[in-house]
Amino acid sequence: MSRMEFMQALERALSDVSSEEREAALQYYNDYLDDAGPEHEQEILAEWGTPWKLAESIRSGMDNRLDEGEFTESGFFAGEQRQCPARKGSPFHEKKKEEQPEKEPGKQSPNVWKWIAIALLCILLAPVCIPVVLSLVAVIVGIIVAALAVAVSLLIAGIAILLAGLLVAGVGIVKLFAAPAAAAVLIGGGLLLFVLGVLLSLLFGWIVLKSSVWLFRTVVSVCRKPFHKKEGCR
């Protein structure tokens, strides 16, 4: 419902009150919406509810006592009911500061007791937890070192196969004129060993290189964590 439709419906709903009271009510709510601005009109209209509900609130508090009360966002209030808190979140009303409950003297915050309990628990479990953690670290390091050792061994084996292939091919070349058939077999086998050695050397060399880089980055990251300061909320 638009502002115009709301105000027209409110005017019809207040048709049973005096023209003076009706004009005063319409003037107040129109001024209220003007102060709020177009960007807040729908929000305010939704808070007021229907025009007929607002009109009923106005009539129930008015009772021909226009001079003894005032209009508010919730209707008309007279006498002791005149004070009405400002609408929550309105940019054109002063916001009341919420009163912060004062802490009782000597009363510790629940968070303090929580951290104390955690600290005591850590102290009690330290004799058990520290050896377990060290054992897990030792197992993990041992597995990583063993894996690297296997990769390095395979790399060395690949290099050895490569050299063996070169040696066999060289022997075949030397015997090429003395025993051509045997020399051809030796040269072919030596070349196959050479190619196999090159492939294995490249494969396991790549594995060793990647594993070493990952291990180095992991160690650096773990060592930096105790000195890393988390930025707090501003």
Average confidence (pLDDT) per 10 residues, the chain, 234 residues: 87 86 87 87 86 83 56 53 40 43 51 84 83 84 81 84 87 84 86 89 86 80 63 41
Side-chain half-sphere exposure of 152, counting CA atoms within 13 A = 8
Whether 63 and 152 map to the same domain: the answer is: no
- How many structural domains comprise the chain? 2
Task: Tell me if 10 sits within 8 A of 26, measured CB to CB.
Answer: yes
DSSP 67: G
Beta bridge partners of 72: 75
- Sequence-distant (≥ 6) Cβ neighbours of residue 167 within 8 angstroms: 190
Q: To the nearest whole number, what is the mean pLDDT of the chain?
A: 76
State which residues form the domain around 67. Answer: 3-82
- Residue 56's SS3 state is helix
Whether 216 and 139 map to the same domain: the answer is: yes
Whether 73 and 135 map to the same domain: the answer is: no
Q: Is residue 93 situated within a structural domain? A: no
Whether 8 and 75 map to the same domain: the answer is: yes
Q: What pLDDT, in 10s, does the model give residues 73-126? A: 555 555 444 433 334 444 444 433 444 445 454 454 567 888 888 888 888 888
Whether 149 and 67 map to the same domain: the answer is: no
Q: How many Cβ atoms are within 10 Å of 166's Cβ, its own excluded?
A: 15
Query: Is the pTM here over 0.75, yes or no?
Result: no
15 token code pair? 């048709």
Domain boundary among 47, 63, 82: 82
Whether 66 and 144 map to the same domain: the answer is: no
Whether 76 and 134 map to the same domain: the answer is: no
DSSP 76: E
Q: Distance between terminal CA atoms of the chain?
A: 41
Q: Is residue 92 situated within a structural domain? A: no
The residue count for the chain: 234
Beta bridge partners of 69: 78
Q: Is residue 30 situated within a structural domain? A: yes
